[in-house]
Structure 1
Amino acid sequence: MRKLRVLMLGWEDQPILNGGVGKACFHLAEALAKQVELTMIVPQADHSALDHHAEVVGLDELNLAEVKQAPVAKTFERFATTHRVPAALFPYEEPAGQIEPSMDDEDAVINASSADVAAPTVAEEPAKPAVVNFPNGKPQINVTQGARGTLNFEVIQFARYAARLASHKEFDVVYAHDWMTFLAGMEIKIQRKVPLIVHVHSLSFDRQVGEPLGWIYELETKAMNEADMILTVSERTARMITKRYGISAKKVQVVYNGADVVIPEPVTPLERKQVTFLGRLVAQKGPLQFLKVAKQVLKQDPEVTFVVAGHGPQLEEAKQMVRRLGIEDSVTFTGFLAPAKASELLKNSTVFLLPALSEPFGLAAIEATLAGLPVVITHQTGAAEVLPQASVADCNDTAGLAELVLNLLQDTELRKKQVEANQKAVKQLTWGVTADQVMENLHSVLELQDERRSIV
């Protein structure tokens, strides 16, 4: 019996680029490739990572002028001709960097059968892609000189060329991760008449922490309506999809993220009082709330130190808040940390605090648990569903979060009890288990498709 052929669409294949989503896609692809014939299309690829497991295609290394569309009923040729554009791929940074597309240029409009969105004006491209470096570990495809393209345009460009590449390949299902790949997934579904599964790692409502109305929200809505199945990383995200997007709950399945380390460290000894935040410095993860909690803790225990590890658009605002709160001597900013450094930081910490305003899952909380730390998280964090002894409070309850931190710093037995219970739960969260659940859902979608075809 031949293996299932899966075309996976991701935005990166390395786990250190844009945080949790890249990490999740990498480990999930690695686990899935043991069971399926996997082809992965990403904007850029590091072939040392996944090539021995799957075919990985990075658009950055192709001469896009030579990527031609195989004959199909519908193609992306209906809206643009350019093959190379600047692409600064930061899909999880602040919304201010996302410019709404103009509807003035009729030539830029994508046919509504794929998505009700528009592309900026397209310019001619050079014949050969340029060689690029990735500053600070951030991904970029700089194939032309000039101004940075808008993020929506980059997503459209990815969709066009991913669809062209897919037109030359044989596969049974297309599997798209997060909104940046949804447009490509929809077009490939139309072209190849295969089922589309979308995997939601976060939503506009998480990233913008409010009422997002605009291009990305509309793309998410369109894709989830067009998809044959939606996978989510938590029950919290599943509820948000049904409530905020009007999607039937029957179409949504929860598949929790896995852990890339299955052997947990012993409970961290209380040699110091250090509370750590690890993640992108964006509003949804609550770095500013972390500092407010720090201020409350320091009022009762001035010996506690706080570490903020990560980079992001709120870094400068966070540094200003530290000065305003008068806690400069107790707070350290490390900037971006590579995985080994991040692991070392966790092992030298005492408590992990993620006061997220809206976090679909929160892989960092799992990593902290495996490092032997008790975790303080919010009711707005999906990881609370899989960590039975996490200390949990509302994201806006600064005093309550501070009290939870202080309790863990003061009570050794409480820390040990929580860590051991959470580590026991995390042992069941392997990427292999996650991949098995994804496989079950892929097969169920294909079986349903076969039943429909037999009726016709």
Structure 2
Amino acid sequence: MLGWEDQPILNGGVGKACFHLAEALAKQIELTMIVPQADHLAIDQHAEVVGLDALNLAEIKQAPVEQTFERFATTLRVPAALFPYEEPEVGQGYTQHSSELQDKVEVVNQEQKGPYAQETASQPQSAAAQGQPQITFAKGAKGTLNFEVIQFARYAARLASHKEFDAVYAHDWMTFLAGMEIKIQRKVPLIVHVHSLSFDRQVGEPLGWVFELETKAMHEADLILTVSERTARMITKRYGISAKKIQVVYNGADKAPASPVVSAKRKQVTFLGRLVAQKGPLQFLKVAKVVLNQDPDVHFVVAGHGPQLDEAKLMVKRLGIEESVTFTGFLPPAKAEALLKNSSVFCLPALSEPFGLAALEATQAGLPVVITHQTGAAEVLPEASVADCNDTEGLAEHILQLLENEELRRRQVEANQKAVRQLTWGSTADKVMESLHTVLLLQD
């Protein structure tokens, strides 16, 4: 299993989903999970978790195979500066050949920008000297992740060349390159699990090599798992993949017991998530303005961090709602849960959200949820209040109704909590296992 994050080293929902899936799958199969960085105590003894940060990468040699990674490296270019949960910044990319770029990268300390800079800043700078680099970073403000993806693929393929296994299971585009190479080397089926697409992250305008990598991987994969029917339809329409190759497997929910329905007395509406275009934080503020025009006592909380934070703060000033909006920044899980339990309504006005785990977490915390038709979680929350992402008035009306009508709140929360109880990570893992068995039988 190839992942990009491992708890507690998390930057988004993909890491959380991979962790819980690995934990559940490890009870049924022998599982090796390869990630760039790992907390080796996070998953119990049933699984082997390999973090490349804990290895002497210089000592990892490729086992003899018929074809090597270099065949792959000579066919790909790295034209854009990309992060896994952010939009690419056109014009900051590189155009040299990837093998030429490899000669120009070097290990730098964790003050450089990277997906784990915040969590690993306290690590000693001597790690590289001890032969334990993180995935190496290129110099510059951005443009590092493309190098990291290529390096992850190289070292993951080397590690896999020494192991016996039946299938390779890759999560999202950051691991697809590694998955394809391992499939070719070891002649095993490739399963790719799509948690989001370029069409989501760039809101309908995919650019650069990530879109091409997604397309190549999904055509090469023996099976594609998606987190929602919405994502499955997008793959069929945008990537030309047969629907017969795609299986929808909804995300699970944490084991925590559901909380009682939260009262609306406080009148607090919360957005919890990364501040990126696809999740609609700016739309949340526009909705807030409409609500406040009708009920000035409502307070709005924006919890999370991301590239739209500064723009969101400017919008609050421009809309004249500074006194009614609080920005919390990134919140660890315990504080995020506490925030939800002190709120009245959860609102995720996403423009393109494949699933939306935060909507399930809010439901478990006892909150009614207001989401959009463009959110995958709408498929599993039968009583969510739903409107189109561009329907600012409609979203605001939903919020006002939920703040004013206690019976509506109770009915919605109880129905959604009942639905969420069926969404366990164990049942998700069972569906993944059924799909894996089907693929393996076809290989025989």
- Could you tell me which of 87, 95, 103 is aligned with 1:94? 87
1:254 and 1:53 map into 2 onto residues whose CA distance is 26
Matched, 1:435 2:429: yes
- Could you tell me which of 40, 45, 49 is aligned with 1:52? 45
- Output the amino acid matched with 2:5: E
Percent identical: 78
1:146 and 1:367 map into 2 onto residues whose CA distance is 38
- Could you tell me which of 59, 68, 76 is aligned with 2:61? 68
- Give the aligned partner of residue 5 of structure 2: 12
The Cα shift of 1:225 comes to 0.2
- Give the aligned partner of residue 136 of structure 1: 118
- Give the aligned partner of residue 453 of structure 1: none
- Give the aligned partner of residue 311 of structure 1: 305
- Output the amino acid matched with 1:49: A
1:145-197 CA-to-partner distances (Å, cap 9, x unmatched) read 84465322211111011000000011000000000000000000000000000
- Could you tell me which of 100, 120, 123 is aligned with 2:104? 123
- Give the aligned partner of residue 339 of structure 2: 345
2:366 and 2:19 map into 1 onto residues whose CA distance is 24
- Give the aligned partner of residue 196 of structure 2: 202
SS at 2:162 equivalent: coil
Q: Provide structure 1 residue ranges, at least 5 long, that are not aligned to the other structure.
A: 1-7, 82-87, 110-118, 451-456
SS at 1:120 equivalent: helix
Matches within 5 A, 1:178-257: 178-257=172-251
Check the 8 A contact 1:286/1:355 in 2, yes or no: yes
The Cα shift of 1:50 comes to 1.6
SS at 1:95 equivalent: coil
2:8 and 2:382 map into 1 onto residues whose CA distance is 26
- Could you tell me which of 366, 372, 377 is aligned with 1:378? 372
Matches within 5 A, 1:258-337: 258-337=252-331
Check the 8 A contact 1:18/1:90 in 2, yes or no: no
- Give the aligned partner of residue 36 of structure 1: 29
- Give the aligned partner of residue 112 of structure 1: none
Give the direction of change, closer, same or farther, for the CA distance of 1:390–1:243 in structure 2 (3 Å limit).
Answer: same
1:341-400 CA-to-partner distances (Å, cap 9, x unmatched) read 000000000000000000000000000000000000000000000000000000000000
Check the 8 A contact 1:233/1:361 in 2, yes or no: yes
The Cα shift of 1:136 comes to 3.3
The Cα shift of 1:137 comes to 3.2
RMSD after superposition: 2.3
Matches within 5 A, 1:395-414: 395-414=389-408
2:73 and 2:197 map into 1 onto residues whose CA distance is 28
Check the 8 A contact 2:3/2:33 in 1, yes or no: yes
Check the 8 A contact 1:93/1:313 in 2, yes or no: yes
Matched, 1:169 2:163: yes
The Cα shift of 1:98 comes to 9.1
The Cα shift of 1:64 comes to 1.2
The Cα shift of 1:96 comes to 1.5
Q: Structure 1 residues 327-336 or 41-50, which shifts more?
A: 41-50
Check the 8 A contact 1:89/1:141 in 2, yes or no: no
1:401-452 CA-to-partner distances (Å, cap 9, x unmatched) read 00000000000000000000000000000000000000000000000111xx
Check the 8 A contact 1:276/1:307 in 2, yes or no: yes
The Cα shift of 1:11 comes to 0.1
Give the direction of change, closer, same or farther, for the CA distance of 1:266–1:138 in structure 2 (3 Å limit).
Answer: farther
- Could you tell me which of 145, 149, 152 is aligned with 1:151? 145
2:42 and 2:242 map into 1 onto residues whose CA distance is 37
2:82 and 2:3 map into 1 onto residues whose CA distance is 12
- Output the amino acid matched with 1:137: E
| Aligned residue-pair number | 423
Give TM-score, length-normalised by structure 2: 0.90
Give TM-score, length-normalised by structure 1: 0.88
